[in-house]
Structure 1
Amino acid sequence: MASSRATARQQGPLSDALRERYKHDAAKAAAEMVQDGMRVGLGTGTTVAHLLPAIAERGLANVRCAATSPATERAALALGLKLADLDELGDLDIAIDGADQIDPGAWLVKGGGRALTREKIVAAAAKVFVVIASEEKAVGELGPPVPLELMRFGARCTLTKLGQARLRDGAESPDGGLIADYLGAVGDPRELSARLSAAPGVIEHGLFAPEMVSVILIAGAAGVQRREGGKPLG
């Protein structure tokens, strides 16, 4: 596995087949980091869909997992993975999840699959948080949309205060919160993160700071390349 602060970028848009292959490659590399006896956090989304069989294929009998969404839970159970509530497991040894955007400083945008609050709780509960992605998710700077989970009470007032934000039609989180997207410029992600966190009615937002991230595995034409985040390994 190559180690690099940059990822070789594909010329032009990726084909669907190539994108899925890269997701598979990143997921397989992350699955190799799971050891028997670990407590593992499982993210949500299309890249995690490749991760679950990659973990199951390893045949680790004593791995217990916490899922971040009903979809992940159903898929994991179908593959024979052992699941438990996060509160039962306590601190996790490792959590693995995808990302919608990854900038050069290891800031992430996550939550396109509507499970952003659970994903952030699981990432924070893990000693090691690994992010997996295909190469088109690596960007020069973060941009909109940034997913939000909102309280139902006063949601329109919350959106008005935020400014450039709108609800996703019919979308809700696994815990019943409304899903919206912040559509303004991101600029300094730390400043926007603080602003969104301070807004009454915002349960959580999809900006993940580098200090939450241990390792980023980005798969592309050059193979799986590794970036370091701000959370120490072990």
Structure 2
Amino acid sequence: MTPAEQKKAAAAKAAEYVEDGMKLGIGTGSTSEEFVRVLAERVKGGLRVIGVPTSERTAKLCTELGVPLTNLDDTPHLDLTIDGADEFDPALRLIKGGGGALLREKIVAAASDRMIVITDATKKVAMLGAFPLPIEVIPFGSLATVRRVAEVAKAYGCEGKIARRADSYGEPFFTDSNNFIFDCSFGRIPDPDGLARELNLIPGVVETGLFIGIATLALVGTSSGVDIIEPK
């Protein structure tokens, strides 16, 4: 199967974990969109669920396809979140945020009893860091904040280019919460747990794309089917 077919297979498998009456967190990105399409077909067939989208983009697709939505103010506890990942390691530590929704994705996942990750086989790595680590930063004083990010990262064995993300017009990209994202090309992250902990102590850092201890299961589309991976 191609990577696109692997994503579809993982999304279809994830839909099997959705039970009638569930309150769902619904992720952002191309693989999550495949899940929304499968979920919408089940909703048309009578499945009763309600979802909390992790981005305006996901909310728009859910509305177009007829998936009922709510929000965390009205529904603060969720049964299950299904979302993609840009990378994951054997401990199911993730890098997320390639789609620019890492803050809302982490808030929704933290409000859920479980998080299932759906990916293609290219996202599985021995060590995180090949995919640039997104860090969401408040615009005020952002360059001072990023200077401190670089200092902390170096102390954890991480060095590389840190660049503010731009939109398709070359202007600064803003998240749904009106913050910047800086992408950190470290190449390798030897201590994701320590790095995540220290980065989140920096004033101006809203959240990082390191999801530690959140994912409970990964469904990985491969050339021969879907692998089910639990954290080691």
Structure-2-length-normalised TM-score: 0.88
Structure 1 residue identity aligned to 2:127? E
Q: Which runs of 5+ in 1 are unaligned?
A: 1-16
Which residue of structure 2 lines up, in the alignment, with residue 193 of structure 1? Answer: 196
Which residue of structure 1 lines up, in the alignment, with residue 136 of structure 2? Answer: 149
Mapped partners of 1:171, 1:186: distance in 2 = 25
Mapped partners of 2:48, 2:221: distance in 1 = 28
Q: Cα RMSD over matched residues? A: 1.4
Q: Is the 8 A contact 1:148 1:181 kept in 2?
A: yes
SS in 2 for 1:106: coil
**Deviation (angstroms), 1:182:** 2.0
Task: Kindly provide the CA deviation profile for residues 162-217 of structure 1, in whole angstroms up to 9, marking residues without a partner as x.
Answer: 225221122111110111112234111111111211111100000011x2111100
Task: Kindly provide the CA deviation profile for residues 77-128 of structure 1, in whole angstroms up to 9, marking residues without a partner as x.
Answer: 1110000112211210110000000111211100100100000011111111
Q: Is the 8 A contact 2:136 2:206 kept in 1?
A: yes
Structure 2 residue identity aligned to 1:157? A
Which residue of structure 2 lines up, in the alignment, with residue 35 of structure 1? Answer: 19
**Deviation (angstroms), 1:61:** 4.1
Which residue of structure 2 lines up, in the alignment, with residue 213 of structure 1? Answer: 215
Mapped partners of 1:191, 1:27: distance in 2 = 31
**Deviation (angstroms), 1:221:** 1.1
SS in 2 for 1:171: coil
Structure 2 residue identity aligned to 1:161? R
- Greater shift after overlay, 153-162 or 129-138? 153-162
Which residue of structure 1 lines up, in the alignment, with residue 50 of structure 2? Answer: 64
SS in 2 for 1:57: helix
SS in 1 for 2:173: strand
Mapped partners of 1:56, 1:200: distance in 2 = 41
**Deviation (angstroms), 1:44:** 0.2
SS in 2 for 1:198: coil
Size of the alignment, in residue pairs? 213
Q: Is the 8 A contact 1:159 1:166 kept in 2?
A: no
Task: Kindly provide the CA deviation profile for residues 43-102 of structure 1, in whole angstroms up to 9, marking residues without a partner as x.
Answer: 000101100011111134421000010110000011100001122112101100000001
Q: Is 1:176 the counterpart of 2:178 in the alignment?
A: yes
Structure-1-length-normalised TM-score: 0.87
Question: Pick from 118, 134, 138: which aligns with 1:132?
Answer: 118
Q: Which runs of 5+ in 2 are unaligned?
A: 151-159, 167-171
Mapped partners of 1:105, 1:85: distance in 2 = 30
Question: Pick from 211, 225, 228: which aligns with 1:226?
Answer: 228
Q: Is 1:162 the counterpart of 2:149 in the alignment?
A: yes
Task: Kindly provide the CA deviation profile for residues 113-154 of structure 1, in whole angstroms up to 9, marking residues without a partner as x.
Answer: 010000001111111110000000001111141101001110
Taking only the aligned residue pairs, the percentage that are identical comes to 38
SS in 1 for 2:30: coil
Q: Is the 8 A contact 2:25 2:108 kept in 1?
A: yes
Mapped partners of 2:77, 2:28: distance in 1 = 19
Mapped partners of 2:126, 2:231: distance in 1 = 16
SS in 2 for 1:159: helix
Q: Is 1:92 the counterpart of 2:89 in the alignment?
A: no
SS in 2 for 1:82: coil
Which portions of structure 1, spanning 4 or more consecutive aligned residues, are displaced by more than 4 angstroms? none
Mapped partners of 1:87, 1:32: distance in 2 = 27
Mapped partners of 1:35, 1:225: distance in 2 = 21
